[in-house]
Each structure stands twice: as C-alpha cells, then as structure tokens.
A and B are shown apart, each in its own frame.
Chain A
Amino acid sequence: MKLNLGKLTAAALFMALSTQVHAGAVDTLQQEYLSAGAGPFSAAKGEQMWTEKHFDAESGKDRTCQTCHTADLTKSGKHAKTGKVIDPLAPSANNERLTDIKFINKWFKRNCKWVLGRECTNQEKGDYLEYLRGL
C-alpha cells in the first residue's frame, strides 16, 4: 500500500486544528486562573467536587452537579425544575462543549451559585474544566 503523504498531512493538520479549537477555550481560561494565582489543576479533584452534595436549606434537598447533568455526562441531562433537556456535557459526546468562553463563564456563574450557593473560585473552575475536558 502506498502511503498518501498529502492526505495524511491534511488529516493530521485537521486533527491538530480541531483539538486546538477544543483546547482553546479551556486553555485560555485555565491560563487566566493561573495568572491570578490558582493552579495546578487536577481532574481527580474536579471529579470529586462534581459529585459532592451540597444541602440547600430553602428546598431542603441536596444539590450536586449531577442533579441536572446526571451521572453520565455523555448522555443528555434534564433541568431539575422545568424538565428541559440539557445536551451532553462531555466533549466526546458533544463537540460544542467547552469551546465558548462566554458560555462557560455564564454557566459557571449560574450553576456554582445554584449548587454551592456561591461563585466558584478560580481553583475550582480550573479543576472542573480539567475533569470535563477529559470526558
């Protein structure tokens, strides 16, 4: 079999570019957190926080990230209150995930407040992203 170098290079370039798009938003954000004094970031820590329960006094219920996103991030989730479908969060199942900085920031703010009752620290956000990017 003759190797088609041109095609191979194109494929490699395409793969490099597409991962770059993926890594872009996460890398930029993590760099921002590092500059502000946070880091290094750990996927294991991110995963542990992801499943951690936080008691919400007002509703009398525990809240975790999984309440809406479910335990399997390659599957769709459901808004706890309205039932609206939430697209899979794992980049392997949904290539739009973790690509848009504005979108990531918006949901960190809303969801950290919903689950933790406060905004997340840069360290926490970096850890969450480190965990999620590997899914």
Chain B
Amino acid sequence: MNTKSLTGLIIAGVLITASHAALASGDVAAVNNQQYSDECGSCHFAYQPGLLPERSWKKIMSSLDDHFGENAELPAADQQMLSDYLAKNAGDHSNYKRSVKLMRSIRNSETPLRISKIPYFVKEHREVANKIKGSTKVKSISNCEACHQKAVDGSYAEREINIPGIGRWED
C-alpha cells in the first residue's frame, strides 16, 4: 500500500469516527444519575434531561414549591446537584436524534415547562392525543412509559409503542 492510499484510509477512518460521534444512536440519552431517578422518579416518569432545553430545566428547578401544582421541594444541596445534572445534559447540549428535533421545534423566545407542549412532541402525538383521553391506564400524555415500552432507556421508536387498550401504533 502506498502512502497516498494509507493517508486516504486514515482520513476515511477519522471521518467515520467523527460522524459517529456527531450522530448519537438512540432517541434521547438515557438517565445516568441514580439520584435523579430516585428523586424525580418517585412521583413520575424520570424524564430524560434531553427532552427539554437548559433554560426550561432551570425554570422548573427554581420553582419546585409549585411543581405543576404539587410541592416537590428538595434540600438546597440536592436541588443544586440535580439542576446541574439537568443543565449539563439538557436537550440543547445533546446530539441525540429526538433531542435535536425537539429543540429545533422550540422558538428561541420560548421556555416550555411541559415536554408535551413542545411543537415536535405535539406533532408526533397529534393523532393519539384524542384516543387516550380519559384512559385510566395511560392516565395522561405525560406518562411516557405507559405506551413507550423502552422509554426508560431513552428509546421512543415507533415499533416499541404499545398503547394500553389500543395496542401497537403505526402512523
């Protein structure tokens, strides 16, 4: 092998590695913080940080005394630790597929507090939203894992959807 083709191979290798790094596999990065899973997951699905931009998490974490109508106050040190985790791993710092799509659909002037109000989320759930209204099993559109069987792993693929009382879902 001559030097030219070797250089070509190396460049190709670097490019492949780089593109892999740019396109993370999976939909959103899975939660990798046990305290976050424990604290937030004791009341609701522990939403992946990559589902909201940093500015949204900051707003949510600074008003835990009225957390969507519930009191979710934490000791200051825990609140700070979880805020840092959320900010660092927020959707606007992620290159995971769904994080990118969610973030792109949000206007810069807006700070959504509910993932279910993000335009991309609304679009993806447009058809199903009415069908699950009143369902005691799904309970609400914010209950990810009721239908997305691998939601806890950050995976929201269509083939993994199984809606209680409705079944598999295909667009």
Across the two chains, which residue of chain A brings its CB closest to B64?
A: A110
Q: Which of A81, A106, A110 contacts B69 (CB 8 A)?
A: A81
Question: A73-98: which have CB < 8 Å to B?
Answer: 79, 81-84
Determine, out of B71-79, B109-117, B126-134, B152-160, the stretch whose residues face the partner at the interface.
B71-79
The yes or no answer to A54 lying at the interface (CB within 8 A) is no
CB distance from B114 to the nearest CB of A (A): 13
Across the two chains, which residue of chain A brings its CB closest to B139?
A: A83
The yes or no answer to B143 lying at the interface (CB within 8 A) is yes
How big is the B interface, by class?
Answer: 10 to 19
Q: Which of A58, A84, A113 contacts B71 (CB 8 A)?
A: A113
Across the two chains, which residue of chain B brings its CB closest to A117?
A: B71
A82 touching B143, Cβ below 8 Å? yes
The yes or no answer to B140 lying at the interface (CB within 8 A) is yes
The yes or no answer to A109 lying at the interface (CB within 8 A) is yes
Among A79, A82, A102, A114: residue with most chain B CB under 10 A: A82
Question: A49-82: which have CB < 8 Å to B?
Answer: 58-59, 79, 81-82
B73 touching A82, Cβ below 8 Å? no
A109 touching B143, Cβ below 8 Å? no
B71 touching A114, Cβ below 8 Å? yes
Q: Which of B44, B68, B74 contacts A84 (CB 8 A)?
A: B44
CB distance from A51 to the nearest CB of B (A): 21
**Which residues of A sit under 8 angstroms from B143, Cβ to Cβ?**
82-83
CB distance from A90 to the nearest CB of B (A): 18
B70 touching A81, Cβ below 8 Å? yes
**Which residues of A sit under 8 angstroms from B75, Cβ to Cβ?**
102, 106
The yes or no answer to B18 lying at the interface (CB within 8 A) is no
Interface flags, A109-130, vs B, CB<8A=1, else 0: 1110110000000000000000
Chain B interface (Cβ < 8 Å from any Cβ of A):
42-45, 65, 68-75, 139-140, 142-143
Chain A interface (Cβ < 8 Å from any Cβ of B):
58-59, 79, 81-84, 102, 106, 109-111, 113-114
Further contacts, 8 of them, CB under 8 A, given A110-B71, A114-B71: A81-B70, A82-B139, A82-B142, A84-B42, A84-B45, A109-B73, A110-B72, A113-B65
